[in-house]
Chains A and B, each alone.
Chain A
Amino acid sequence: MTVLLVNEMAKSKFDNRNEWLFTGVTAEIRPEDRIVLLGGSGQGKSTLLRILSLLEPFDKGDLQLDGQTSAECKPQSWRKKVTYVAQKPVMRSGTVAHNLRTVSELHHKPFEEELARSYMEAVGLGKMDWDKQASDLSGGEQQRLALVRSLLLHPELLLLDEITSSLDPASKRAVEKLLMDWAAGQANGLERAYLWITHDLDQARLISNQVWFMAEGRLLERSATEVFFENPATEQAGLFIHSLQETGGEKQ
Chain B
Amino acid sequence: MNNMALLCTVCFVAVAALISMKQKLGLEKEILIGTIRSAVQLLFIGYVLHFVFETSHPAFIIIIILCMIMVAAWNAGAKAKHVRGIRSRIAIALACTEGVTMAILLGLSIIDPTPQYIIPVSGIIIGSSMIVCGLLLNQMKREMETARGEMEMLLALGATEKQAVHGSLRRSVRASMIPTLDGMKTVGLVQLPGMMTGMIVAGADPIEAVRYQILIMFVLASSAAMTAMVLSLISYRLWFTKDARLLPMLPEDN
Contact = CB atoms under 8 A, between A and B. Distances in A.
Contacts of B159: 76, 106
Interface residues of B, number: 16
Contacts of B163: 106
Contact of A90 (B153, B158, B160, B244): B153
B156 A83 contact: yes
Interface stretch (A52-60, A115-123, A190-198, A202-210): A52-60
B158 A86 contact: no
Contacts of A86: 149, 152-153, 156
Nearest to B245: A55
A149 B149 contact: no
B155 A106 contact: no
B153 A75 contact: no
B244 A75 contact: yes
B253 interface: no
B157 A106 contact: yes
B158 A54 contact: no
Nearest to A85: B156
A176 to B, nearest CB: 21
Interface string A91-123: 010000000001100110000000000000000
A88 B241 CA distance: 24
Contacts of A83: 156-158
B158 A106 contact: yes
Contacts of A53: 156
B152 A55 contact: yes
Contacts of A75: 155, 243-245
A153 B245 contact: no
Counting from the closest, the 5 A-B pairs by CB-CB distance are A80-B158, A75-B244, A90-B149, A90-B153, A84-B156
Interface of A: 53-57, 70-71, 75-77, 79-80, 83-86, 88, 90, 92, 102-103, 106-107, 146, 149-150, 153
18 contacts: A55-B156, A55-B245, A57-B245, A70-B243, A75-B155, A75-B243, A75-B244, A76-B244, A79-B156, A83-B156, A84-B156, A86-B149, A86-B152, A86-B153, A86-B156, A102-B154, A106-B154, A146-B153
